[in-house]
Chains A and B, each alone.
Chain A
Amino acid sequence: MQALLLRLLALDRRWIFLLVLISVMTPIIVPIGLPVTTTSSTRSAFDFVEALQPGDVVWLSFDYGPSSAPENDPMAQAFLRQCFIKELRVIVTALYPLGGLGLANQSVAKVTAEFPEAKYGVDYINLGYKDGAAAVMRTLGQDIASAFPTDVNGRPVSEFPIMQGLRTIRQVDLVFTASTGLIGEWWITQVYSQFGTPVIIGPTAVSAPKYYAFLNSGQLVGMLGGMKGAAEYENLLAAKHETLGKYYRGTKDFTATKGMDGQTVLHGVILALIVLGNLAFFLTRGKKAGAA
């Protein structure tokens, strides 16, 4: 037993990498469909959007790049689907310099293809990318057209019905930011704190812990923490709206709910390895690997 534990402690870490690979790959090839429980932060975000009325204006900002797309894409797309099914008017922007606009264009194209009745310029608009997020948000509080004079295709925003009568971000009913890094925080500390527009954030899991402070202080309506938060949101949508339930159950595309199978299996493996490693360490304390 001691010899086995000593060998375990001296195990080449590449075997663990292989175990991680197998743990994540297996649920992708053979989906398990493990249940996802809902946290209160996701529930409050979902309920807030559900309470909005048709015609209300929401602002969806793609503040992330390809490096966190597996976490942020599903949440942004789930939110967009909810907006279209509830007939909210959606303004899309991208404030992240490295690929935010490309991801925004991809997600908007994908979701609007599912909702052919949604008209560009009437039900939604893509204002594109703007550099200097902090300064952009400040300008949005004074005049949206100054920050985004044209849409993503270069047409003046004044041409579009969706922008008629909409002068500042104060008139927007909700901001949803799918974000990595600092940009999400700026929506809270600048747009909510100075202009009073409610904010929901969908951060990467790495950033999520710091946003609990904003959630507790009431500066955030809700939060979708990483892939888990996105999966919770997808499940809430599927349960509430039959059309989306069919979509999420039948799609072959990647969804956060599918990704959570791999997360759960791998977290189990990691926990087992932590327990095993500690057991091996304490039971063989004082003995050298060479003695095996």
Chain B
Amino acid sequence: MEFAGFGTWLAAFLTLAAFSFLYKDNPFFRFAESLFAGVSLGYYVGNVLNQTLVPNLFEPLAQNFGTNWDLLVPGLLGLMLYMRAAPRIGWISRYALGIYVAYYIGVDFTRRIHGEVLPQIARTIRPLNSLEATTLVSLIFIVGVYSVLVYFFFSKEQNAVTRPLARLGTSFLMISFGAAFGFTVMGRVALLIGRLNFLILDWIYPTIGLQ
């Protein structure tokens, strides 16, 4: 009989401990939950240190300070963020935060406009002058977008014209929520399948000598 390794047994125990919550709350679940939170945080801190700070800041500064001295600026901005912990000098962190927010607005602004807003508007504006199957799809698409926009227009009270349109928009929204929910169920089931595959194929079968 061939036994699975210690890591597999530990992973199997933690998986079962997590699943045990489905029966009821218990110390094994609490232990697994706390361990997971702690390990995740530790991994993230180690990851940032080894993959970001060391290769991008510490090493370049240590190896060639004359060329890379400008890296002190982002390093200092990062340190300034932690000033929030000291109430008397907490205001310093706002400057770093302001630069950080401004940077991402600059990066994101172009991305949002060219990557989302303009292409999506262009897709909505379709010619309806020919009788093809795609014309019908485009028509449904346009009615859907328009009615949902009417539903979300809160600046004016709905009247006899806009109320039915808004109701139609609600139907389109419900259909999209239903599709999203279906996909979510599929995603969660996939994770369950992944865990059960591990338990059966990687833990139980080798332990009882089936593989």
Query: Do A and B bind?
Result: yes
A residues with CB within 8 A of B: 14, 17, 20-21, 24-25, 28-29, 67-71, 97-99, 101, 129-132, 134-135, 138, 186, 188-190, 192-194, 204-206, 208-209, 213-214, 216-219, 225-228, 252, 254, 258-259, 262-263, 266-267, 270
Establish whether residues A129 and B186, one from each chain, have CB atoms under 8 Å apart when the complex forms: no
CA distance A98 to B42 in the complex (A): 11
A273 to chain B, nearest CB (A): 12
CA distance A286 to B211 in the complex (A): 55
> Given A25-B200, A226-B186 in contact, is the A70-B194 Cβ separation under 8 Å?
yes
CA distance A267 to B185 in the complex (A): 9
Residue in A closest to B118 when the chains form the complex, CB atoms:
A193
Establish whether residues A193 and B119, one from each chain, have CB atoms under 8 Å apart when the complex forms: yes
Interface residue tally for chain B (C-beta within 8 Å): 44
Partner of A254, one of B186, B191, B201: B201
Partner of B107, one of A28, A130, A134, A206: A134
A266 to chain B, nearest CB (A): 5
- Which of these binds chain A: B26-34, B65-73, B80-88, B176-184? B176-184
- Which of these binds chain A: B1-9, B46-54, B147-155? B46-54
Establish whether residues A205 and B23, one from each chain, have CB atoms under 8 Å apart when the complex forms: no
Residue of B52, B107, B194 with most chain A CB atoms under a 10 A cut-off? B194
CA distance A211 to B199 in the complex (A): 32
- With an 8 A cutoff between CB atoms, is B94 at the interface? no
A24: B residues at CB distance < 8 A: 189, 192-193, 196
A101: B residues at CB distance < 8 A: 51
> Given A28-B197, A193-B119, A209-B179 in contact, is the A131-B190 Cβ separation under 8 Å?
no
**Pairs A-B, 8 closest by C-beta atoms:** A189-B115, A70-B194, A205-B187, A217-B123, A193-B115, A206-B187, A227-B190, A205-B186
B193: A residues at CB distance < 8 A: 24, 28, 70, 227, 259, 262-263
Residue in A closest to B177 when the chains form the complex, CB atoms:
A209
Establish whether residues B189 and A194, one from each chain, have CB atoms under 8 Å apart when the complex forms: no
B52 to chain A, nearest CB (A): 4
CA distance A17 to B184 in the complex (A): 17
Partner of A188, one of B112, B115, B188, B194: B115
B104: A residues at CB distance < 8 A: 134
B residues with CB within 8 A of A: 22-23, 40, 43-44, 47-48, 51-52, 104, 107-108, 110-112, 114-116, 119-120, 122-123, 141, 176, 179-180, 183-197, 200-201, 211
> Given A134-B107, A208-B183, A218-B123 in contact, is the A252-B211 Cβ separation under 8 Å?
yes
Establish whether residues B114 and A193, one from each chain, have CB atoms under 8 Å apart when the complex forms: yes
A252: B residues at CB distance < 8 A: 201, 211
Establish whether residues A29 and B200, one from each chain, have CB atoms under 8 Å apart when the complex forms: yes
B90 to chain A, nearest CB (A): 25
Other 19 A-B pairs with CB < 8 A, given A70-B197, A134-B104, A227-B187? A20-B192, A28-B193, A70-B193, A70-B194, A98-B44, A98-B47, A99-B43, A188-B115, A189-B115, A192-B115, A194-B115, A206-B184, A206-B188, A225-B183, A227-B186, A228-B186, A252-B201, A267-B185, A267-B186
8 residue pairs of the A-B complex, CB under 8 angstroms, read: A24-B189, A70-B193, A70-B197, A71-B190, A189-B111, A190-B115, A209-B183, A263-B189
B148 to chain A, nearest CB (A): 13
CA distance A266 to B191 in the complex (A): 13
- How would you classify the secondary structure of chain B's contact residues: helix, strand, loop or mixed? helix
Establish whether residues A254 and B111, one from each chain, have CB atoms under 8 Å apart when the complex forms: no
Establish whether residues A266 and B189, one from each chain, have CB atoms under 8 Å apart when the complex forms: yes
A225: B residues at CB distance < 8 A: 183
Residue in A closest to B108 when the chains form the complex, CB atoms:
A134
B109 to chain A, nearest CB (A): 12
Residue in B closest to A14 when the chains form the complex, CB atoms:
B23
Partner of A97, one of B22, B44, B111, B179: B44
A98: B residues at CB distance < 8 A: 40, 43-44, 47
Partner of B190, one of A130, A134, A193, A205: A205
Establish whether residues B183 and A216, one from each chain, have CB atoms under 8 Å apart when the complex forms: no
Establish whether residues A226 and B190, one from each chain, have CB atoms under 8 Å apart when the complex forms: yes
A211 to chain B, nearest CB (A): 10
CA distance A165 to B125 in the complex (A): 40
CA distance A34 to B141 in the complex (A): 34
CA distance A25 to B204 in the complex (A): 12
A134: B residues at CB distance < 8 A: 104, 107-108, 111
Establish whether residues B191 and A190, one from each chain, have CB atoms under 8 Å apart when the complex forms: no
Partner of B110, one of A97, A186, A194, A262: A194
A195 to chain B, nearest CB (A): 11
